[in-house]
Each structure stands twice: as structure tokens, then as C-alpha cells.
Amino acid sequence: MAEYGTYGDLHVTLDNFVAVAEIRRPPHNYFSYDLIESLASAFEDLGADNACRAIVLCSEGKNFCAGGNFTQPSAGDSATKSGNHLYVEAVRLFRTPKPVVAAVQGAAVGGGLGLALMPDFRVACPEARFVANFTRLGFHPGFGLTVTLPEVIGKHRAELMFMTSRRIKAEEAFQWGLVDALVPMEDLRDTAISFATEIAECSPLGIVETRKTMRGSLAEKVKAATDHELAIQDRLRATEDFKEGVKAMSERRIPNWQGR
């Protein structure tokens, strides 16, 4: 594959009209403002490039994206440099005009699940797992998941994931339609590229316009959702329960909730 560029921790190649954007923050590929900004910038460039007709989003290491690293002192902090917020970049990412196929291995947790829901399609291996663990942290779902997850698996199943913080294994995710193809780990990347190649072999103008019709106002919905999600997250972040949720997670125990 031909080198396309490096955007922070994101490495991009382009070959036969298919770009492969690989997150290189192994083993867990925790997300941050910088990573989402890099993704948004790369996808914006690819969206304007006629040599790209489809994108594969993948990760190096054990997990696709294990969400925010709450073991760090600044974990969960909504503030970012220049006063901008991660969700501003997330919305920019959702505005990409080219179809995206995600290759998901290991964990897609919290905001990492939100990132996995940005693509149009998902290919996963049996080792993959999907977790909306926000309520287990005393927190509220974010990254637009209150819009994207119900659109993919339905409102009831999305509520189940949100309310229980349950880990959904790959086979169940496939049955629910959260995953479009389930293949062995060794075939994951090639299958995602083949999927994207199948898309790229169709009319580029037809694909872009059809995708625009099918996704409709998704980016605008995500913008409204993240505005709401952030307001609640900022409030919950100041509570004792959130501190307890993060502490309990790091200590691998059941939280002792106080309701305050």
C-alpha cells in the first residue's frame, strides 16, 4: 500500500481507492482529544481526495479502542487545549463523506464504542467485545452514542447496554446487527479491506450521494446529542459517585454508590 500520511498517532495508506487508517496507540488505543482531532483531519483530507472511495478504520494492538484512560489524572476531563472539546472533533469526524468500514478486535469500550459506531459497517473477530460502561462509572453515555447505538441495534437493546454496562461479545453483537461480518482474527484486516474494496468498485458519485441520503442528518443529530451528553457528563463528573466509579474500576470491584 502507498503511504498517504501520518496524523499524530494515526497512520494512513491508500491503494486501489481504499484508504487504511490505523490507530497506533497500542495495546489499548485509548482515545484522547488529539486522536479524535487526527482522525477528523485525516478523514477530511480523504473525503476531499478523489483517489479515495472508501476507508478502513483499524487499530494496532490488543484492543480496537478501550475508551478513555481513566487511570490517568486527567481522565474524563472535558476540557481540552484552546478551550475546544473532543466532541467538536467527533462531530467533524461524523461529517466525512466517504463510507467507512471498521475492523474491530478486542475491546470497543465507552468512547471507543462511540468511535466504532461512527463507521458505516463493522467487521469483528470472536475476541471482540462491545461495552457501554458509562453507568458503571457513575457517568452518562457520550460520543453521540445516544443517537448512533439505537439507530444500529434499536432503542431497547441500546437501553440494555446503557443501563447494565454489560459486555456484549462478538457473536451476540453479530446477531444484533452491531457487527456486519464475524471472521477469525487473522482474517480481520483483509476482510475489512475486501469489504471496502467492494464499495470502492461501485460508482463513486453514486456511493457518496446514496450514503448522504441514507445517513441523512446524522452529523447534526450527533452534534445535538453531544451537546446534551456533555452537559450531563460535566455535572456527573463533579459527583462523589463518579469518583467512586472510577476508583472501583481501577480496583476491579463493585462500586459503593452513595447517590451524590
What is the SS3 assignment for 88-116?
A: HHHHHHHCCCCCEEEEECCEEECHHHHHH
Mean pLDDT of each 10-residue bin along the chain, 260 residues long: 93 98 96 95 98 98 91 46 70 98 98 98 98 96 97 98 98 98 98 98 98 97 96 95 93 94
For residue 63, the domain's CATH number is: 3.90.226.10
pTM of model > 0.85: yes
Residue 103 is assigned to a structural domain of this protein: yes
Residue 252 is assigned to a structural domain of this protein: no
Report the length, in residues, of the chain: 260
Residue 246 is assigned to a structural domain of this protein: no
In which domain, by residue range, is 7 found?
2-186+203-207
Category of 67 on φ-ψ map: left (φ > 0), alpha (ψ -120 to 50) or beta: left
Residue 40 is assigned to a structural domain of this protein: yes
Looking at the structure of the chain, the number of domains it has is 1
Of 96, 154, 62, 200, the closest CA to residue 162 belongs to 154
Tell me if 230 sits within 8 A of 89, measured CB to CB.
no
Q: How far apart are the C-alpha atoms of 213 and 158, rounded to whole Å?
A: 24
List the grid coordinates of 80: 481540552
